[in-house]
Amino acid sequence: MKTLKNYINGKWADIEGDSYIDVENPSTGEIIARSPLTSRAEADHAIETAHAAYLSWKNVPVARRVAPLFKLLSLLQENEEKISRTLVEEMGKSLPDARAEMKRIFENIEVACGMPVLQQGNKLIGCSFDMDGEIIRLPLGVFGMIAPFNFPAMVPFWFLPYAIASGNTFIVKASRQVPCTMNLITEYIDKAGLPPGVFTLLNGDRAIADAFMEHPLIRGVSLVGSTKTCYEVAKKCAANGKRFQAMGGAKNHLIVMPDARLSNTIRNLITSCYGCAGQRCMAASVIVCVGDDTYRTICDEFVKASRKVIVTNPLDPKVADEEMVMGPVISAKAKRFILDMIETGVQEGARLLLDGRGLAVPGYEKGHFVGCTVFADVKPGMQIHRTEIFGPVVCIMKVTNLDEAIKIINDHEYGNGASIYTQNGFYVRKFKIETNAGMLGVNVGIPAPVAYLPFGGMKNSQLADIKAQGKAVINFYTEDKIITERFWEEEG
């Protein structure tokens, strides 16, 4: 069993004292590592170290700041498989899903490598007579990032490479439940050639988050977590004059139009609903069928396909070649919550087409498995529709037309992702313009944008003016200075 360490000022560091938390393999229930509970004082110290590093890092030309990112990209690509397996072991997602997570990391580094172009400001000759205007875009200082358990490696990279490339220094608080992957990645960051203090890894809990929100040297905080935590971060950061990007809960709807291509659509729905055992913030959990026929067909076919999903430990060699494997949910606690929600759905009158409770996975009896679960006849008022269940539980709803489908989405508290299945351009345009969700898919089940475009939701799914990832995130990590300049005339 491995004992994790913090990475501060370019060195691996033990915490003082002896507060650790166990890291569990959710497929087997085994304890695979222990992670230190960093104290507030240690977090504060790390922030000060990162700030000291910032003072010289900001003056390194941007082209030199991206050089270590190119190096890191190579290192991570070479070790993709090792990191992916670590991720599966501690998180429970399937190996293909872990590899997909790695790919998105690579992409984000690639985009941030374009910083010498992205960070250019503007120059206007003649903003008035003999006077010029300039916008220069400079880094701000130390930024903190709080990682979630579901994408413990990818999510930090929505921010990290951009923050660093633009001249800031960056601290990741690893996921408390799933810290090993980010710790392993830090080993490669350590080899990439960044000066000490430019990147910092902290393990632990609340104390680190508090330090991020309160320490005066932190200039901004990024969080992917619950909507409740998002509001807390937003309020504290606003009160302390800090920037924030806070991504919260989601309940993603997929609209199926009568002209949707059935077999393609079903395959897509399955991947979206059950990938990561429904624990993706971009996972679909509500299927909205337009018209009676669509509803009937989708109910039948989706349940049929759901039954074929293999639920087991994704590292079990027997499933190595299977296309659709679903692992456990993250913890016993999470499992309990999901089972309770299924019971709630039954109580409030939804029709349980497929029941994932009581699933036993031979050989992995201590794993936190929940089987695929499907409800039909779900209505907007119901708790299973209002709540983000974060498990393999799917609600199917029926409406008579696209307007009604969009209304259901727009009335919902969350607005992260949404998709439509149709070949019809008119419906597509209406869906794009009227649906209040930040990331939209057309015949795409998980409309998570590539790293060349921003990532972010609306309403209670994201509290922030600036989204993550892509070329626009540079606005979060730089501040514009606007300069008005002239020189008095000299002779000659």
- Residues serving a catalytic function are 281
Question: Using an 8 Å Cβ cutoff, are 225 and 208 in contact?
Answer: no
Length of the chain: 492
C-alpha dihedral (483, 143, 149, 387), degrees to nearest 10 = -60
d(CA 60, CA 79): 28
d(CA 141, CA 124): 27
CB contact set of 64 (below 8 Å; sequence gap of 6+): none
274 exposure class (CB count in 10 Å sphere: 0-12, 13-18, 19+):
buried
For 171, what's the count of Cα atoms within 13 Å in the CB-facing half-sphere? Answer: 35
Question: Using an 8 Å Cβ cutoff, are 363 and 316 in contact?
Answer: yes
d(CA 456, CA 404): 24
Question: Using an 8 Å Cβ cutoff, are 359 and 328 in contact?
Answer: no
Question: Using an 8 Å Cβ cutoff, are 102 and 152 in contact?
Answer: no
Q: Which two tokens stand for residue 268?
A: 């897509």
Question: Using an 8 Å Cβ cutoff, are 432 and 440 in contact?
Answer: yes
The DSSP element (H or E) to which 269 belongs, if any, is: helix 262-274
Nearest CA to 370 out of 384, 357, 383, 351 is that of 357
User: Which backbone phi and psi does 324 adopt, to 5 degrees?
Assistant: -115, 95
The DSSP code sequence of 38-106 is --HHHHHHHHHHHHHHHHHHTTS-HHHHHHHHHHHHHHHHHTHHHHHHHHHHHH---HHHHHHHHHHHH
The 10 Å Cβ neighbour count of residue 307 is 11
Nearest CA to 247 out of 8, 439, 65 is that of 439
Nearest CA to 311 out of 264, 262, 357 is that of 357
